[in-house]
A and B are shown apart, each in its own frame.
Chain A
Amino acid sequence: MLEIQIDHARCNLCGHCIDSCPAPCLGFDEAETKLEVFDLDLCLICRNCEIHCPKDCLVVDFVEWEATREFRGMVRRVPGRRQ
């Protein structure tokens, strides 16, 4: 399934992922202490959040998703990340 995995231990709450998302998928909680996935239905799988994360703590996991297996190469590759 489609999933955005966040490594909260490494996240430094810079917000680059939120800013790079074209949809309101990601956001902080009220106290701005934790990154949350708000609405995965709106995700376009553009992988902007993965690319812009300076701490490398986000993964848009769609690889195991059956419908998209053949599309791994078509969606933008993230430099230095296993596909």
Chain B
Amino acid sequence: MSSEECILKTESLRKVFKVGFWGRPVTVLESLDLEVCRGEVFGFLGPNGAGKTTTIKILMGLIYPTGGKATLFGRPIGDRDAKGKLGFLPESPYFYDYLTAEEFLRFYGHLFCLSGTRLEQRITELLELVGMTHAKHLQLRKFSKGMLQRVGIAQALINDPELVVLDEPMSGLDPVGRKEIRDLILRLKESGKTVFFSSHILHDAELLCDRVAIILKGRLVASGRVTDLVGQGATRSVEMVVENLSPEGLDHLRPLAEKLLLQGSQALVVLKGEAQVGDALEIIRVAKGKLVSLTPHKSSLEELFIREVKGLQPNLVEGQ
């Protein structure tokens, strides 16, 4: 990928907070390098407290980095032109709850110097996009969390941004709400926008992202395409369900299996790998068993994530 396609970039980004009365330094981010390219959905993953929100806050110009460099659209953070092409939804957003959805979007439109019919048209479009047209005259204080999240996304899109940054957009939502946000992100991708979102819900990231970066304790531990990351050193297993297999057949299968469970006339066999599938099928054929299902299990992002967390924080993960 050529460097001019990268619209979000951080180099050795570092942030140290001073806490307490004596200003004890706490390093939240350590030398973070990220590159997000135009048109991709990029997942920024990590457990709570890993430094995701801190990174996003630096990118949005809410806090200043202690060291390193960050650019948006090739310009330094805080640049007005770059901010004009940016949409941002903070984590668990709080908005001016005395405004109605329509007034709320109009206010944000004014901040981009939008006005008149163009703005009104945009507000109508966005309320429709996020499915909130019915609530346009309702004050935000009467909104549910899912509704707030949706209207929050609408505010992030008011300027038709090229890059949309969402901080934990799925957190605290029910499964329906999460699916709605996922669909919205996919729609944004289809319309050519770049989406950068942070999450600790890996399943969502796996479904949505072209590329991900995993951050732990302020350090980048992995980044790349989801398929590449998941493939790296991942052990694949194959799960079979077999019916009416004779005891001899079971005995022959046992050496090939990592796990073998019997339930009535069925047996669940987890093979050590793809290499054993051929032999196992032959044993079943000879023993006149019936194959009910055969499912290959790929290593998931979650397994990779846990592995990385375990590497850095063994006690924490085992404790959980």
A and B: interacting chains? no
Interface residues of A (CB under 8 A from B): none
